[in-house]
Amino acid sequence: DADVTQTPRNRITKTGKRIMLECSQTKGHDRMYWYRQDPGLGLRLIYYSFDVKDINKGEISDGYSVSRQAQAKFSLSLESAIPNQTALYFCATSQSYGDSYGYTFGSGTRLTVV
């Protein structure tokens, strides 16, 4: 099993629908992150959580919300999806500042909003 699992892998949804992207990890890491990737823009941070009670907005949090249900689970919600939220979404984990082996990323969720 992968260390960081994202579900679903691919999703097509309609404008205005609520959708949840899920992330679970078996690394035992405290820190979890959600990024979105758009062509030519790299990865941008949406939300991050340093522990279950700590949730922080990243640079592009508008239109998104998150839930840290447990140390191992961190979900990203789009309350009312819009087409410009079409992107590749990554969940990542790290143990601490400058994790020695790099951040661990999930395989990504490709979301299309039509």
Partner 1 sequence: AQKVTQAQTEISVVEKEDVTLDCVYETRDTTYYLFWYKQPPSGELVFLIRRNSFDEQNEISGRYSWNFQKSTSSFNFTITASQVVDSAVYFCALVYDKIIFGKGTRLHILP
The contact pattern for partner 1, residues 31-60, with x = CB under 8 A and - = no contact, is: --x-x----xxxxxx--x---------x--
Classify strands 4-7 and 19-25 as parallel, antiparallel or unpaired. Answer: antiparallel
Q: How near is the Cβ of 45 to partner 1 at its closest, in Å?
A: 6
Residue with tokens 């789009």: 78
Please state, in angstroms and rounded to a whole number, the distance separating the CA atoms of residues 60 and 39: 16
Residue 113 DSSP one-character state = E
Identity of the residue, 1 or 98, whose beta carbon is nearer to partner 1 in the bound complex: 98
Q: Which amino acid is at 112?
A: T
Binding residues (CB under 8 A) for partner 1: these are 33, 35, 40-45, 48, 58, 88, 90, 92, 94, 97-98, 100-103, 105, 107-108, 110
